[in-house]
A = this chain, B = another copy of it.
Amino acid sequence: MVSYKRLLVAVDFSPAAETVARRAVDVAQAYQAELHWVHVVDYLMPLGLADDFTPTPALMVDEKELLEQGRQSLQRFLAKRDRAADPQSVLPGVPRQEIVHLARELCSDLIVIGSHGRHGLARLLGSTARTVLNDAPCDVLAVRVAD
């Protein structure tokens, strides 16, 4: 059997993250695999949405504080699921890039990520799952979540 051994699970804290987390734990159990959780703090406004006169949020936010909030949120999220002891990363940046980068760094063999389909905002901006798929160094499990 060609087993998955090192899973990387990307979560935000939307209602959909519950579905992704449950599935990831489930796959980890089926394969006796390790789980590494990642949350990307994506506080940069897409360039096209900023006008010339308004300072973009990047200039107004305190990155350190956002990362600390992210860390606490991820800890709470995992504690609720009895996974607080799992390795975890909270990173600033563009989710698709950071997820792929971390997967390479950790030699993950499966990325687990939520997928929203092509409706709504996801279609306009390009879903993270779809773009992760392009660059992932490993297999990707896209967990279907409600739009």
Interface of A is mostly: mixed
Cβ of A143: which chain B residues have Cβ within 8 Å of it?
A: 139
* Chain copies in complex: 2
Size category of the A interface is 20 to 34
Residue from B3, B23, B26, B137 in contact with A26 in the complex, judged by beta carbons closer than 8 Å: B3
Cβ of A92: which chain B residues have Cβ within 8 Å of it?
A: none
Question: Which A residues have a C-beta under 8 Å from some C-beta of B?
Answer: 1-3, 22-23, 26, 29-31, 115, 117-118, 127, 129-130, 133-144
Knowing that A115-B140, A127-B133, A136-B142 touch, tell me 6 more A-B residue pairs with CB under 8 angstroms: A2-B22, A3-B30, A117-B134, A136-B144, A139-B144, A142-B142
